[in-house]
Amino acid sequence: MYQPSYHAPPGPEAMLDLVAATALATMVTVVDGSAVIDHLPFVLDRRRGPLGTLEAHVASANPVWQHLEAGAPVTVVFQGPAHYLSPAWYPTKQATGRVVPTWNYLAVHARGTARLVRDAERLLPMLERLIAANEGPLHGGDHWKAADAPAGYLAPMLKAIVGFEIEIAGLDGRWKLAQDEALPDRHGAVSGLQSLGDPRARAMGDLIQSTLP
């Protein structure tokens, strides 16, 4: 990942916070010189390994698990809030016009190799953790649990997937939050984003605000 020093993340814990908060991520595996890309939900267990361990699963019909079993290196891409910044929000536009648009975003790349999990005794608890992580934020009704499904239904479903875990060996991140813009333009970006009334814009505006002196 291209990483100018002024876009460096606050530290490993901030990157792991983003990983834990991201519901869906992009897994990239290189096989025979080509990228194999899958979009999967992950769960982060911070207790296992210096940087934590990721858990996920794929359909057994997906050949990617065979590449994982063979030791193919893996990078999982987690993206946080992102939004377009318009030069129309910058005072510099009125003063000189020497401004251009850009996108701001947070992103983390987690690297490692995978270990497969295929036996039901280990796979079911992995799925229960994934379900709990996704059901927990929902409101307005009962949360679904694996135990709500008939056992006779779950057993063949478990056989149709392959679980895996990735102990994170390295993290790279980029916190692109207008740090390289003039201070008045950064304030202008915050005001412009907040004026949109969109939750995604507001989240980005709050992040830029947090970097201002």
Q: Decide if 144 is inside a domain.
A: yes
Q: Decide if 60 is inside a domain.
A: yes
Q: Decide if 40 is inside a domain.
A: yes
Cβ atoms of residues 38 and 44 within 8 Å: no
Task: Report the alpha-carbon distance of residue 172 to residue 11 in Å, rounded.
Answer: 10
Q: Decide if 193 is inside a domain.
A: no
Instruction: Tally Cβ neighbours within 10 Å of residue 44.
Output: 24
pLDDT at 123: 96
Secondary structure of residue 190 in the 3-state scheme: helix
Place of tokens 């135990």: 147
Instruction: Tally Cβ neighbours within 10 Å of residue 43.
Output: 19
Which sign does the torsion angle of CA 116, 121, 127, 128 carry?
negative
Q: What is the H or E stretch that residue 96 is in? A: none
Q: Tell me the longest C-alpha to C-alpha distance in the chain.
A: 70
Residue type, position 175, single letter: W
Q: Which residues contact 47 (CB under 8 A, 6 or more apart)?
A: none
Q: Which residues contact 50 (CB under 8 A, 6 or more apart)?
A: none
pLDDT at 70: 94
Domain that residue 25 falls in:
5-82+104-179
Task: Report the alpha-carbon distance of residue 194 to residue 206 in Å, rounded.
Answer: 8
DSSP 48: S
Q: What tens-digit pLDDT sequence spans the chain (213 residues)?
A: 999 999 999 999 999 999 999 999 999 999 988 999 999 999 999 999 999 999 999 999 999 999 999 999 999 999 999 999 999 999 999 999 999 999 999 999 999 999 999 999 999 999 999 999 999 888 666 889 999 999 899 999 999 999 999 999 999 999 999 999 999 999 999 999 999 999 999 999 999 999 999
Q: Decide if 29 is inside a domain.
A: yes
Q: Decide if 12 is inside a domain.
A: yes
CA angle 83, 57, 150 (to 5 degrees): 115
Burial of 45 (0-12, 13-18, 19+ CB in 10 A): middle
Q: Decide if 56 is inside a domain.
A: yes
Total of domains in the chain = 1
Residue 70's DSSP bridge partners are none
pLDDT at 9: 97
Domain of 131: which CATH number?
Answer: 2.30.110.10
Q: Decide if 211 is inside a domain.
A: no
